[in-house]
Amino acid sequence: MQPAPALRGFRFLGWGPRATGSYSGWATRSDLYGRCGRCTGLVSLWPDQIEQCSCGALFKDLGRFGHLDGDQSIAIYSKDGPTP
């Protein structure tokens, strides 16, 4: 994978579940976000609500998180400042 674009107020951690610090699926933390490679929308990895990006390819519901292009297509960021 190539480097993800810089995102103001966020730090790029890597691609897919391993970038969240988990070796067996997605780690959920309130400061982690997945970014859609299609529409560049952000979705929080905190499991308190159902969300999806604007194009619907990146989705999260209670207990599931993924992308239509596969988990490794999700750029993972940690929040370093206010959400843009």
pLDDT over 50 at 83, yes or no: no
Domain ranges of the chain: 10-79
- Please state, as a whole number, how many other Cβ atoms lie within 10 Å of the Cβ of residue 10: 23
Round to whole Å and give the CA distance between 80 and 52.
22
**Quick one: pLDDT at residue 2?**
60
**Quick one: pLDDT at residue 35?**
94
For 17-40, write each residue's pLDDT tens digit.
Answer: 999 988 778 888 889 999 998 999
**Quick one: pLDDT at residue 67?**
92
Strands (E), 16-80: 32-35, 42-44, 51-52, 58-61, 64-67, 75-79
Contact 33, 10 (CB under 8 A): yes
CA dihedral 18, 24, 30, 35 (to 10 degrees): 40
Contact 7, 40 (CB under 8 A): no
For 38-60, write each residue's pLDDT tens digit.
Answer: 999 999 998 888 999 999 999 98
